[in-house]
């Protein structure tokens, strides 16, 4: 069966927040919950600014699922990690466990008590019946049941964010990496590996461009 994943191509992401707005729109996500958000590093430093769109990564061995004390998580046949809001007690353990900050809570009620956990559902709703009003109100739209892909990936203006069956999207991404390396234009296109994550011996630290290199600057 298909295994659903996201890949966000940092060379293409322009921080337009189109994915964020699309998700908010279709899933009626309230103010304060950010199912998807765009993170930018080295902001303003020419040639080194990179953006990436982050949401739930639907991990194969999901930490959120592992730590939940009431076992409200489950995986669908397509590898999407979902949870049941009726069982969720709002304890927050999943949020601590997740390295991506995907589970989110609203602070409602007295003493800022947490609401039920809310997170990216890969646009595949929840345990309620597909396409029902209850599902829409609790979990947002179920696009996978309609045969469509998540709206964030569909709306991405540069096709930086791609989502879908992991075999297909990784072949798309590998294609892009191969073309970039062949062109020799993007040294940062070594997408995988230790030196990409942690830097090799000759990786320079990010530094601001001196004024002499900025066109028009003093």
Binding site for other proteins (CB under 8 A): 15-17, 20-21, 24-25, 29, 31, 34, 43-45, 208-209, 211, 214, 217-218
Are residues 8 and 161 in contact, defined by beta-carbon separation less than 8 angstroms? yes
Taking the C-alpha atoms of residue 144 and residue 78, their distance in angstroms, rounded to an integer, is 10
Taking the C-alpha atoms of residue 97 and residue 104, their distance in angstroms, rounded to an integer, is 12
Q: Which lies closer to other proteins via its Cβ, residue 92 or residue 208?
A: 208
DSSP for 164-196, please give it: EEHHHHHHHHHHHHHHHHHHT--GGG--SSHHH
Q: Which lies closer to other proteins via its Cβ, residue 80 or residue 160?
A: 160
Q: Which lies closer to other proteins via its Cβ, residue 42 or residue 76?
A: 42
Q: Which lies closer to other proteins via its Cβ, residue 16 or residue 149?
A: 16
Q: How far is the CB of 143 from other proteins (least distance, A)?
A: 18
Q: How far is the CB of 71 from other proteins (least distance, A)?
A: 32
Q: How far is the CB of 20 from other proteins (least distance, A)?
A: 7
Q: How far is the CB of 123 from other proteins (least distance, A)?
A: 16
Determine which helix (DSSP H) or strand (DSSP E) holds 203, and give its type and residue range.
none
Are residues 45 and 200 in contact, defined by beta-carbon separation less than 8 angstroms? no
Taking the C-alpha atoms of residue 19 and residue 152, their distance in angstroms, rounded to an integer, is 4
């Amino acid at each position: 069966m298909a295994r659903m994943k996201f890949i966000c191509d940092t060379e293409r992401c322009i921080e337009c927040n189109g994915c964020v707005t699309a998700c908010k729109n279709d899933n009626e996500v309230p103010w304060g919950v950010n199912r998807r958000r765009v993170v930018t590093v080295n902001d303003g430093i020419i040639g080194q600014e990179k953006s990436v769109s982050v949401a739930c990564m639907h991990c194969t061995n999901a930490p959120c699922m592992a730590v939940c004390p009431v076992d409200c998580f489950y995986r669908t046949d397509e590898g999407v990690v979902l949870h049941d809001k009726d069982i969720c007690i709002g304890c927050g353990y999943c949020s601590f466990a997740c390295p991506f900050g995907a589970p989110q809570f609203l602070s409602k009620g007295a003493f800022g008590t947490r609401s039920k956990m809310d997170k990216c559902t890969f646009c595949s709703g929840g345990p309620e019946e597909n396409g029902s009003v209850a599902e829409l109100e609790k979990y947002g739209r179920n696009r996978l049941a309609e045969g469509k892909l998540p709206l964030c990936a569909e709306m991405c203006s540069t096709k930086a964010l791609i989502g879908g069956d992991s075999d297909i999207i990784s072949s798309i991404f590998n294609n892009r990496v191969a073309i970039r390396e062949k062109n020799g234009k993007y040294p940062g296109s070594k997408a995988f590996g230790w030196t990409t994550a942690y830097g090799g011996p000759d990786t320079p630290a990010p530094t601001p461009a001196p004024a002499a290199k900025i066109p028009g600057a003093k």
